[in-house]
Amino acid sequence: MNEFLPVNKSDMTECGWDRPDFVYVTGDAYVDHPSFGVAIISRVLEAEGFRVAILSQPDYKSCDAFREFGRPRLGFLVTAGNIDSMVAHYTVSKKKRNYDYYTAGGKMGKRPDRACIVYCNRIREAYGDVPIILGGLEASLRRFAHYDYWDDKVRRSILVDSRADILTYGMGENILIRIAKLLDRGIPVKKIRDVRGTVYMASPEDKLNFECAGSFDYDILKTDKKTYADAFAVQYKEQDAIRGRAITERYDNKLLVQNPPMPPLEREELDRVYALPYTRRYHPMYESEGGVPAITEVEFSITHNRGCFGACNFCALAFHQGRTVRSRSIESVVEEAKRITASPNFKGYIHDIGGPTANFRYPSCEKQLKSGVCAARKCLAPKPCPNLKVDHSEYIELIRRVESLPKVKKVFIRSGIRFDYLLADEDDAFFKKLVRDNVSGQLKVAPEHCAANVLRYMGKPDISVYERFKARYFELTKSFGKEQYLVPYLMSSHPGSTLEDAVELALYLKKWGYSPEQVQDFYPTPGTISTVMYYTGIDPMTGKSVYVARDYNEKKLQRALLQFSRPDNAPLVREALLKCGRADLIGYGENCLVKPERNVQPAYGGNNFSKAASQRGMKGQKNGKKSPKIQRNRVKK
């Protein structure tokens, strides 16, 4: 018997089914690994006794492929895949990507743009009124009227455009179990309106099942930026299973209703989910094409937690998984590690034991368990909340237990470490262990910027916190006799970042002696505070105006400043500095960012070298002292 769920009619017949209960349509290749939402949901439903068939990357140009399994007994489940289809297809500059990590062989074009909408409409063509339940990241983050970067306008809820019956948002295990059991009892899909974590369409006069926090009208939201920002603030604040309330949006004579979030899975529930019989492989049908690239990063990695109370403004996790952290038991993680070591491809290295933020195991404070997360403040930024509970002891024990397994040579931590949370721990036992045992030569961290106002708009701590972390990291590295590096993530053109802020960051990087190989331009994706700032010019959480770099040329200039040492960026860096009135940073001085344009007389004085020094060719040296050596793509003390 095939270890995988049926992917075609022949597989279904081999299983002895006349038809499936659900056909699960996905924009990704089929990978049966718990890092993939389709694998988790399909295995969870299977464990509840439901028959699930996988329709992976069907030919969307007609409805024929959607008839592969016939009409399912209970309905279709639809997802674009692990990431938003538009992000999968386009770069921040809106250019088409040339590689798809979630498709066999990395081939592009196997899923459509706006995959959820296309798939649902093809299903409607094939089967009319069959129940359709929409889920996954694309659906979750587009569940309300949302600014769409690619169309540069506010689009309707994806539920409206897809014509699905129900949209599930957040982590969907218990949501879909509840829906599946109601459908199995014969409840019509249009009558399922009391399930938490769902969105549905109703008539304006219909009675809601939950208290309503706010109601908005799409016709206003699509043109009024202030109202749009206000609406998002309500949506964000109500994303809590304890105190969250319903929210509605009016679409002509229809009412979109979002029920409050489903409570997060508790430890025992998470343990059950990750104990299901995943093959941890891509389906064999992709072997001839070289397999599915996305498995490479996660094949020997373990997810131990969900949720993130870090809540960076540019991250959609708070709007999807939520800010309440839950984690698996040590025993559950160890059992998964044992299964990994049994793989014939295992070489002795666990690549990661992490999650959204690796070093979170519990809710940030006791209050969250009774009252939910705070609606009006963050747990860590700009400074850690006085109620914050900081404890890495269980995480240390978890890692040690995995390290003690017979076939394990090394355990690495490659998910993001929240360094401000790490520093808040009075016991530095985890910091020491991390540096001594669990860094694979370089540790990736996310200071993102150095300018105070930009960090505030990002929801990140002051750069001085990163400086303390960096100093202690290299101090520990030296004490253990290791040569290890930091690889910092940096972002250009985030809302609030001016050209002057980019210059400040460039000077900081020069002083640091660091030249990043890659810089991430801010990418406005649905479901984030930062995207609302980008579209409206308003911070939705304060109502105050925010500077936004929307001009393509200014974005290029900000990006070039962060990579000022690249020769091909020199003209852009000079242009940026002149626009900022910082011609003093063009020259040969130790503080200068770029040399003068060839055949152009430099302006001597200020931070530049003397004319005599420049004529002697003393570039990068003054008074016998060399300027900091530029390190590419890593930071070494």
Q: What is the pLDDT of residues 179-196, one digit of tens each?
A: 999 999 999 999 999 999
Residues 434 and 488 in one domain: no
Domain-embedded: residue 361: yes
Provide the pLDDT confidence category of residue 635 given band limits of 50, 70 and 90.
low
With a cut of 70, say whether residue 600 has pLDDT above it.
no
Per-residue pLDDT at 631: 52
Residues 495 and 402 in one domain: no
With a cut of 50, say whether residue 617 has pLDDT above it.
no
Residues 426 and 566 in one domain: no
With a cut of 60, say whether residue 629 has pLDDT above it.
no
Number of domains in the chain: 3
Average pLDDT (257-285) is 97
Residues 513 and 393 in one domain: no
Which of the pair, 570 or 631, is modelled with greater confidence?
570
Provide the pLDDT confidence category of residue 623 given band limits of 50, 70 and 90.
very low
Residues 382 and 501 in one domain: no
* Segment among 69-78, 206-215, 376-385, 619-628 with least mean pLDDT: 619-628
Domain boundary among 139, 173, 195: 195
Provide the pLDDT confidence category of residue 329 given band limits of 50, 70 and 90.
very high
Q: What is the pLDDT of residues 350-379, one digit of tens each?
A: 999 999 999 999 999 999 999 999 998 999
Domain-embedded: residue 139: yes
Per-residue pLDDT at 598: 80
With a cut of 80, say whether residue 424 has pLDDT above it.
yes
Domain boundary among 141, 162, 195: 195
Q: What is the pLDDT of residues 110-162, one digit of tens each?
A: 999 999 999 999 999 999 999 999 999 999 999 999 999 999 999 999 999 99
Domain-embedded: residue 174: yes
With b for 16 or more beta-carbon neighbours within 10 A and e for fewer, the 333-365 pattern comes to bbebbeebbeeeebeeebbbbbbbbbbbbbbbb
User: Distance (Å, rounded) from C-alpha 414 to C-alpha 355?
Assistant: 9
70 CB neighbour count, 10 Å cutoff: 15
Domain-embedded: residue 236: no
User: Distance (Å, rounded) from C-alpha 223 to C-alpha 606?
Assistant: 49
How much of the chain exceeds pLDDT 70, in percent? 94
Residues 386 and 499 in one domain: no
User: Average model confidence (pLDDT) for the chain?
Assistant: 93
Domain-embedded: residue 186: yes
Per-residue pLDDT at 362: 95
Residues 162 and 305 in one domain: no
Give the C-alpha distances (Å, rounded to integers) separating 275 from 49, 88, 222, 411, 622: 16, 30, 45, 21, 63
Q: What is the pLDDT of residues 52-91, one digit of tens each?
A: 999 999 999 999 999 999 999 999 999 999 999 999 999 9
Domain boundary among 168, 195, 222: 195
Domain-embedded: residue 554: yes
Residues 418 and 484 in one domain: no
274-277, Cβ contacts within 8 angstroms, sequence gap of 24 or more: 274/34, 274/303, 274/328, 274/332, 274/336, 275/332, 275/335, 276/34, 276/40, 276/43, 276/44, 276/46, 276/47, 277/3, 277/43
SS3 of residue 89 by DSSP: helix
* Segment among 64-68, 167-171, 626-630 with least mean pLDDT: 626-630
Q: What is the pLDDT of residues 529-542, one digit of tens each?
A: 999 999 999 999 99
- Assign residue 141 the CATH number of its domain: 3.40.50.280
φ and ψ at residue 313, rounded to 5 degrees: -70, -25
Phi-psi domain of 633 (left: phi exceeds 0; alpha: psi -120 through 50; beta: other): left
615-618, Cβ contacts within 8 angstroms, sequence gap of 24 or more: 618/588
How much of the chain exceeds pLDDT 90, in percent? 91
Provide the pLDDT confidence category of residue 614 given band limits of 50, 70 and 90.
very low
User: What DSSP string describes 217-277?
Assistant: EHHHHTT-HHHHHHHHHHHHHT--TTT--EEEEEETTEEEEEPPPPPPPPHHHHHHHHTS-
Domain-embedded: residue 44: yes
Q: Is 216 exposed, middle or buried (0-12, 13-18, 19+ CB in 10 A)?
A: buried
Residues 436 and 559 in one domain: no
Quote the tokens at residue 149: 């970067």
96: Cα separation from own chain's centroid: 20
Residues 487 and 611 in one domain: yes
Residues 433 and 483 in one domain: no
The whole domain housing 598 covers: 476-630
Q: What is the pLDDT of residues 89-104, one digit of tens each?
A: 999 999 999 999 999 9
Q: Quick one: which of 267, 429, 457 has its CA closest to 359?
A: 429
- Assign residue 378 the CATH number of its domain: 3.30.750.210
Q: What is the pLDDT of residues 497-538, one digit of tens each?
A: 999 999 999 999 999 888 888 889 999 999 999 999 999 999
Per-residue pLDDT at 518: 82
Average pLDDT (287-310) is 96
Q: Quick one: which of 361, 345, 353, 492 has its CA closest to 407?
A: 345
Q: What is the pLDDT of residues 603-613, one digit of tens each?
A: 444 344 333 33
Residues 417 and 541 in one domain: no
Q: Where are the beta strands (DSSP E) in 84-184?
A: 132-134, 146-148, 153-155, 166-168
- The alpha helices in 480-602, defined as continuous H runs, are 499-512, 529-536, 552-562, 570-579
Domain-embedded: residue 400: yes
